[in-house]
Amino acid sequence: MILFNDTEIFTSGSGGKKKFDLPDTELMLYDNFFTKEESDNYYTTLLNNTPWQEYAMEIYDKTVTVPRMISWYEDSDNLGADGTKPDWTPELLSIRERVEKETQVKFNSVLLNLYRNGKDGVAWHSDREQNFGTDAIIASVSFGETRMFRLRHKFRKEIPQVEIPLHHGSLLLMAGTTQSFWQHQVPKTAKDILPRINLTFRQVKRQL
Task: Mark out the alpha helices in 50-191 (DSSP H runs).
Answer: 76-79, 90-103, 129-132, 178-181
Give residue 208's pLDDT: 53
Domain ranges for the chain: 17-202
* pLDDT digits 0-9 by tens, 189-198: 999 999 999 9
pLDDT average, residue stretch 124-143:
84
Question: Could you tell me which of 200, 77, 205, 198 has the C-alpha nearest to residue 144?
Answer: 198
Q: What percent of the chain has pLDDT over 70?
A: 91
pLDDT, mean of residues 85-108: 95
List Cα–Cα distances, 167 to 14, 32, 112, 140, in angstroms. Answer: 9, 8, 16, 11
Which residues are CB-neighbours of 26 under 8 A, at least 6 positions away? Answer: 173, 174, 175, 176, 177, 178
- Give the pLDDT score at 107: 96
199 or 79: which leads in pLDDT? 199
Which is more confident, 82 or 63?
Answer: 63
Q: Which amino acid is at 20?
A: F
Q: What is the mean pLDDT of the segment spanning 74-93? A: 81
pLDDT grade for 172, boundaries at 50, 70 and 90: very high
Helix (H) / strand (E) element for 44: namely helix 36-49
**Which whole number is the average pLDDT over 84-99?**
93
Q: Reduce the DSSP state of residue 134 to 3 states and report it.
A: coil
Mean pLDDT value across residues 45-54: 96
The dihedrals phi and psi of 120, each to the nearest 5 degrees, come to: -95, 145
Residue 62 predicted with pLDDT over 90: no
Given a cut of 50, whether residue 106 has pLDDT beyond it is yes
Strands of the 16-19 sheet, one edge to the other:
16-19, 26-31, 170-175, 138-144, 196-202, 109-115, 69-74
Q: Return the pLDDT at 2.
A: 40
Cβ contacts of 8 within 8 Å, gap of 6 or more: none
Q: What is the CA radius of gyration of the chain?
A: 17
DSSP string, 88-107: PPHHHHHHHHHHHHHHT---
Across the chain, mean pLDDT equals 90
Query: Domain 17-202 is classified in which CATH homologous superfamily?
Result: Alpha-ketoglutarate-dependent dioxygenase AlkB-like (2.60.120.590)
